[in-house]
Amino acid sequence: MFRRGRLLLWGACLALAVALPLVFKSGFMLSLLCQIGIMVVFALSYNMLLGQTGLLSFGHAVYFGIGAFISMHTLNMIGKDGGPLVVALLPLVGGLAGLLAGVVLGWVTTKKAGTTFAMISLGIGELVAACALMFPGLFGGEGGISGNRVVGTGSLLGFTWGPQVEMYGLIVAWAFVATVAMFALTQTPLGRMANAVRDNPERAEFVGYDTQRVRYLMLILSGLFAGVAGGLTALNYEIVTAETLNAHTSGVVLLMTFVGGIGFFYGPIIGAILVTVMQIVIGGMTQAWLLYFGLFFLFMVLMAPGGIASVIAMQRNLWQAGLFRRMVPHYLAVALPILVLLAGLVGLIEMTYALLAGEGVGAGDTATKVMGMQLQLASMEPWAIALAITVAGVALTRWIGGRTRAAWNETLATLHGDRT
Amino acid sequence: MKNKLLQRLALAAGAVLISGSALAQVKIAYIDPLSGPFANVGEGGLKGFKEAADILVNQKGGVLGQKLEFVGFDNKGSPQESQIQLKAAIDQGFRFITQGNGSGAAHSLIDAVNKWNARNPDKTVLFFNYAAVDPTLTNEQCSFWHFRFDANTEMKMEAITNFMEKDKSIKKVFIIGQDYAHGHQVAKYTKEQLAKKRPDVKIVGEDLHPIGKVKDFAPYIAKIKASGADTVMTGNWGNDLSLLVKAAKDAGLKARFFTYYAGGLGTPQAMGASGEGKVLQLTEWHDNVPTKSTEKFAADFNKKYAPAAYFYYLRVNTMTEMVAKAMNTAKSTDPKAVALALEDMRFPAENGEVWMRKSDHQLMQPLYISIFTKADGKTVKHDSEGTGYGWKTLASISQRDSQMPTSCIMERP
Amino acid sequence: MEFVVISLLNGITYGLLLFMLSSGLTLIFSMMGILNFAHASFYMLGAYFAYQISAWLGFWPGLLVAPLLVGAVGAAVERYGLRRAHRFGHVAELLFTFGLAFLVEEVVHLVWGTSSVDYKIPAELDGTLFTLFSTDFPIYKGFMMLISVGMLVALYALLTRTRIGLIIQAALTKPDMVEALGHNVPRIFMLVFGGGTALAGLAGVIGGNAFITEPGMAAAVGSIVFVVVVVGGLGSLGGAFVASLLIGCIQTFSIGLTISVTDVFALIGVTLPAGSQVARLTITQLAPVLPYILMVAILIFRPRGLMGARES
């Protein structure tokens, strides 16, 4: 199960995660890394449903949120009696809560697969989200429930969990444990059965497996890990609000997992990192980030439905066949026009957003700052230039892209030829 | 021609120099939604702060010889994202933050600021709240590091019920609200204070509906109508308010609506004629409250930004000026010194004298009850959002009368 | 009595509007097996197009042109997006529409701004049609009913009386057979998708000014339309019709009921602990989420919906 190469890779990832805060020392980067760690666990737990069992859920945030709320209530309940050790184990409480929620709700949702499951998860998600606002006693209303992760006076091996960097260490530890556990699960008979249920339910049933039971078990376990992620959020932010279990959170985890790639175990990890960075870093740079994100997502669905992981896997295949080198010049050649196209498009979008924000309108002659440049949005000039760059980018991309595609198809043919 | 070009270049170069290095800046991080469904509200607030800083502070010499600047941080309306943005702002050297949309995000920020200040006493951060109105923020949850420049729900309800006390035509009240903390609080304070001031008034119904989920309010209106209410009390905002008022007009309901947020960005527009003579709001100011200089400020603002944003938040101006004054009197931009200077400050704002109460950091300011009516160029000089309808003052409540006791026990550093 | 009659009228009006939205979704689902998550986005586009056209030419041209435009956009989405995503399976298709909904909202923000737009009811339809007891019934609501019923009749005639309708009906159940007979099934798909989105667009044209035209309007109706389709039975037009009216009426009548959850449980002999948070809930408070409860119940006890023929 754990080959040496795989062990090395796991170790390298862990070392990298531990080393990162030594390089990026700022509080912002640390918060970003913490958020990524939490989302990695959450996205992996989601992929247990979508990727491994073929269950498309629109309400996964329910388990995440319940885990977070129960952890927070527990934290507040233990109060001064607890210590750092108890706090460190709190995500387990979140996990158990997620598991219990899975036992109760999963019994209803997993009776059917396919569209029925998708719809029923949507319905239950909406119901739970609505309840969260109706019961302020349990969910804290608009202000949510807050707590303090520094309890008692002692420390666990010198950790009090107060400073963010210690919290990051805790998140990495939990994320690592959860990731290993989830990976191990894919190698168990249950994990294999889940794949069979996903690929061919009739056949799995015929061979003697109870598909409903497999789905139910997978949902319960996925709820467990989503709950762990929820517990980590509660500790990390020291506040839990109704937002953690609403449709928006469910949508984000779906997008992450899909963008990363549902067909590979590590896909959701890439997706969680990428989407969180986009949300927070690009979101901090431009208001148009939702638009970019939407475009990027549609692009992925249409061009690389296997997600980023599948693209990486493809390149790895080429590399192993010694064909990767052949594609490098083509990649480089096509990158340039794509960059031109992106520059033009981003320019157009940014200027439109600047106009929408009311800057430069009615202000007459004054220049507006767009992407670090002072532009006269009232005049035609910048628009014409950006449009020209975009059009040139499209033309170039089509031209060079056609050649790249031809080269790609040829290489692919060689690759498959080699194999057969 | 050539001269003009040269002149422009010189001006541009000068501008770069000034903004780049010559004048240092005092920066305040504006942490509110700048993308997503509530982006319009967040954007409107940011424009208000930027304009206020420029015209009311920087053109009058700035703070301690420096420029005051507001920089937007997009929290996407989320309490958790607010904390990440707070960290980003602290990293970039911000020592002051402001936020207003949503008490959830406000709770989260107060909590984070308290913890940050306790853990980093040499890099403290101060939080100015311009619109989050949950009373607990200046009661049970009050903090030395938090100042609120908007009247809270309890104070607003006190003002509204004082008005109702005098209006004997009010006999039957129906309460309708969004099913979350704010809606619950409005219902609670309405019942509490009406029972005290007008025990003869009957509460004929009370309904809560999930926030943002109702498309057709006709059934609620039918129920209000069946209850025989002459007055509707609601804390609804945004579409939940506009749709309610529209449905009332369609069904010919004659009752009056007491609201908190009918003047909020986009709502007058969406209500249009259906709100005429029917919708009342309580605010610290509206377009037709006479002022010394805000009339011109508002006109310039609207000319510059409409229809993307209209001037609505007078308290944004008040807050900007008070913060600048506090920095100038403290002769410091250290958060603790600024906080101490703000405490107990009395300031001649455009809506009357205001006072920052020391015990809970709640600003006491005059409030106005106004009604949505046709603009006539005289008492209703300005219309709202180009609708042809504007706000007419029915009553004003002095700063002193809006005060409510606080349960705050503040921990001071 | 007054309350019952008024509520019934309100419920039917709302239900008919829901049907206009869900009929397109059902048609698309039964033909192509796609649950179109962006369906409500086409509803929103309809409202915005109508707003723009009515600002230039007036309401009536907008009533005609806007749905056609939306239909054209829908057909283009099918031709250049969905057809490609279709190759990668149902999940990819569904996610494509999911992402599309996202994108449409941002584009609407970009073009028409983040606040509501001033899309008004035309003056000739603004007013009171009749007064029942003491409650006014606005002309516009009558107009909405008229359009919905007209659309229902037209759709019925199209599906049962025309050649293309028969082909569509045949393709609903036996797409392979229809293709074998030489019909261009992909083109029929494009037509159905375009037609379905045009219906959503029409709903947007008449719903946009009755309610409010703003960027959040798609998200607000999005999930409720799914509930209608699932409750009615995936792929059943008749079921969607019944479910629309049912949900319209449930919503209006439950608001009128002043009983609490405690009373409901008392009916089945369960006493809830007094003072608990659940016990204090009233049916009115729950009204807007009742459809979801109904949906979950239907999915548990009768997964093919009220009148559906198949499960998924």
Reported ipTM:
0.84
State chain C's mean pLDDT as an integer: 85
Judge if B226 and B306 occupy the same domain.
no
Neighbours of chain B (3+ CB pairs under 8 A): A, C
Contact yes or no for B209/B242 (Cβ under 8 A): no
Contact yes or no for B95/A252 (Cβ under 8 A): no
Q: Is the Cβ pair A356, B308 closer than 8 Å?
A: yes
Cα–Cα distance, C206 to C199 (Å, whole number): 11
- The yes-or-no verdict on residue B17 having pLDDT over 50 is no
Q: Is residue B176 part of a domain?
A: yes
- The yes-or-no verdict on residue B22 having pLDDT over 50 is no
Which pLDDT score, from 0 to 100, does residue A2 have?
55
Nearest CA-CA distance, residue C203 and chain B, Å: 14
Which pLDDT score, from 0 to 100, does residue C67 have?
95
Residues of A in contact with B303 (CB under 8 A): 362
Judge if B15 and B116 occupy the same domain.
yes
Least Cα distance to A182 among A217, A235, A208, A221 occurs for: A221
Say whether residue C116 is in contact with chain B using an 8 A CB cutoff: yes
Chain centroid to CA A416: 32
Kindly report the three-state secondary structure assignment for every residue of A249-304: HHHHHHHHHHHHCCCCCCHHHHHHHHHHHHHHHHHHHCCCHHHHHHHHHHHHHHHC
Say whether residue A133 is in contact with chain C using an 8 A CB cutoff: no
Give me the average pLDDT of each 10-residue run along chain A (420 residues).
76 88 84 93 95 91 95 86 81 95 91 83 88 80 79 72 86 94 93 89 85 93 96 91 87 92 92 91 80 90 89 87 83 87 87 69 50 70 86 88 85 71
Bigger pLDDT: B22 vs B249 = B249
Q: Which two tokens stand for residue C38?
A: 């962006």
Q: Which residue of B has its CA nearest to C289?
A: B210
- Count of CB pairs separated by less than 8 Å, A with C: 106
Residues with Cβ within 8 Å of C267's Cβ and at least 6 positions away in sequence, in order, are none
Q: Which two tokens stand for residue C140?
A: 């516009």
Q: What is the band of B14 on the pLDDT scale with cuts at 50, 70, 90?
A: very low
Residues of C in contact with A353 (CB under 8 A): 110
Going along chain A from its start, the domains and CATH numbers come out as 4-276 (1.10.3470), 321-419 (no CATH)
Q: Is residue B330 part of a domain?
A: yes
Judged by DSSP in three states, C72 sits in helix
Judged by DSSP in three states, C282 sits in strand
Q: Are strands A145-146 and A239-240 parallel, antiparallel or unpaired?
A: antiparallel
Residues of C in contact with A254 (CB under 8 A): 95, 98
Across the range B314-333, mean pLDDT stands at 94
Say whether residue C281 is in contact with chain A using an 8 A CB cutoff: yes
Q: Is the Cβ pair A136, B107 closer than 8 Å?
A: no
Q: Is the Cβ pair C113, B239 closer than 8 Å?
A: no
Nearest CA-CA distance, residue A281 and chain B, Å: 10
Which pLDDT score, from 0 to 100, does residue A420 have?
46
Residues of B in contact with C287 (CB under 8 A): 209, 219
Task: Write the DSSP symbol of residue B123.
Answer: G
Contact yes or no for A408/A330 (Cβ under 8 A): yes
Residues of B in contact with A377 (CB under 8 A): none
pLDDT tens digits, C37-78: 899 999 999 999 999 999 999 899 999 999 999 999 999 999
Say whether residue A85 is in contact with chain C using an 8 A CB cutoff: no
Say whether residue B172 is in contact with chain C using an 8 A CB cutoff: no
Across the range B89-105, mean pLDDT stands at 90
Which pLDDT score, from 0 to 100, does residue C300 have?
79
Residues of B in contact with A141 (CB under 8 A): 180-181, 184
Say whether residue A297 is in contact with chain C using an 8 A CB cutoff: yes
Q: Is residue B79 part of a domain?
A: yes
Q: Is the Cβ pair C311, A108 closer than 8 Å?
A: no
Bigger pLDDT: B80 vs C274 = B80
Sheet of B367-374: strand order equals B202-209, B172-178, B231-234, B256-259, B279-283, B367-374, B389-397
Say whether residue C219 is in contact with chain B using an 8 A CB cutoff: yes
Judge if B43 and B127 occupy the same domain.
yes
Say whether residue C131 is in contact with chain B using an 8 A CB cutoff: yes
pLDDT tens digits, C199-231: 999 999 999 988 888 888 888 888 888 889 888
Q: Which residue of A has its CA nearest to B87?
A: A28
Say whether residue B210 is in contact with chain A using an 8 A CB cutoff: yes
Judge if B69 and B113 occupy the same domain.
yes
| Interface list for B 222-241 with C (CB within 8 A) | 222-223, 225-226, 239
Q: Are strands B25-32 and B96-99 parallel, antiparallel or unpaired?
A: parallel
Q: Is the Cβ pair B216, C251 closer than 8 Å?
A: yes
Q: What is the band of C272 on the pLDDT scale with cuts at 50, 70, 90?
A: low
Nearest to B269 among C10, C118, C221 (CB): C118
Nearest to A143 among B81, B112, B181 (CB): B181
CATH number of the structural domain spanning residue B117: 3.40.50.2300
Residues of B in contact with C284 (CB under 8 A): 207-209, 223
Point out the least confidently predicted range of A184-188, B305-309, B336-340. B305-309
- The yes-or-no verdict on residue B13 having pLDDT over 70 is no
- The yes-or-no verdict on residue B231 having pLDDT over 90 is yes
- The yes-or-no verdict on residue B116 having pLDDT over 60 is yes
Nearest CA-CA distance, residue B190 and chain A, Å: 19
Exposed/middle/buried for A277, CB within 10 Å: 0-12, 13-18, 19+? middle
Exposed/middle/buried for B385, CB within 10 Å: 0-12, 13-18, 19+? buried
Nearest CA-CA distance, residue A121 and chain C, Å: 9
Q: Is residue B407 part of a domain?
A: no
Q: Is residue B406 part of a domain?
A: no
> How many residues can be counted in chain B?
413
A299-306 CB contacts, 8 Å cutoff, 24+ apart: A300/A258, A300/A259, A301/A258, A301/C85, A301/C88, A301/C92, A301/C95, A301/C96, A301/C99, A302/C81, A302/C84, A302/C85, A302/C96, A305/C85, A305/C88, A305/C89, A305/C92, A306/A261, A306/A262, A306/A263
Nearest CA-CA distance, residue C285 and chain B, Å: 5
B333-336 CB contacts, 8 Å cutoff, 24+ apart: B333/B26, B333/B63, B333/B64, B333/B66, B333/B95, B334/B95, B334/B124, B335/B95, B335/B96, B335/B124, B335/B125, B335/B126, B335/B145, B336/B124, B336/B126, B336/B413
Which pLDDT score, from 0 to 100, does residue A53 have?
92
Q: Is the Cβ pair A127, C289 closer than 8 Å?
A: yes
- Domain containing residue B306: 2-151+294-364
Say whether residue C81 is in contact with chain A using an 8 A CB cutoff: yes
Cα distances (Å, whole numbers) of residue A56 to A51, A104, A254, B268, C250: 9, 19, 9, 42, 29
Across the range B381-387, mean pLDDT stands at 88
Residues of A in contact with B80 (CB under 8 A): 233, 237, 239, 241, 243-244
Judge if B48 and B118 occupy the same domain.
yes
Which pLDDT score, from 0 to 100, does residue A360 have?
44
Across the range B184-192, mean pLDDT stands at 91
Judge if B184 and B58 occupy the same domain.
no
- The yes-or-no verdict on residue B85 having pLDDT over 70 is yes
Contact yes or no for C170/C177 (Cβ under 8 A): yes
- Identify from C106, C111, C221, C301 which residue to disrupt to test chain A contact, counting A C-beta atoms within 10 A and taking the largest count: C106
Hey, what amino acid is at C297? A
Across the range B346-352, mean pLDDT stands at 92
Exposed/middle/buried for B73, CB within 10 Å: 0-12, 13-18, 19+? buried
Q: Is residue B405 part of a domain?
A: no
Nearest CA-CA distance, residue C296 and chain A, Å: 6
Across the range B207-234, mean pLDDT stands at 88
Q: Is the Cβ pair C212, B270 closer than 8 Å?
A: yes
Nearest CA-CA distance, residue C277 and chain A, Å: 7
Cα–Cα distance, B45 to B188 (Å, whole number): 29
pLDDT tens digits, B235-256: 998 888 988 998 898 888 889 9
Domain count, chain B: 2
Beta strands in B139-260 (DSSP E): 146-148, 172-178, 202-209, 231-234, 256-259
Q: Which residue of C has its CA nearest to A357?
A: C113
Judge if B271 and B144 occupy the same domain.
no
Q: Is residue B267 part of a domain?
A: yes
Nearest CA-CA distance, residue A160 and chain B, Å: 12
Say whether residue B203 is in contact with chain C using an 8 A CB cutoff: no
Judge if B85 and B168 occupy the same domain.
no
Buried b (16+ CB within 10 A) or exposed e, A282-310: ebbebbbbbbbbbbbbbebbbebbbbbbb
Across the range C153-157, mean pLDDT stands at 88
Q: Is residue B413 part of a domain?
A: no
Residues of B in contact with C115 (CB under 8 A): 40, 265-266, 269, 307-308
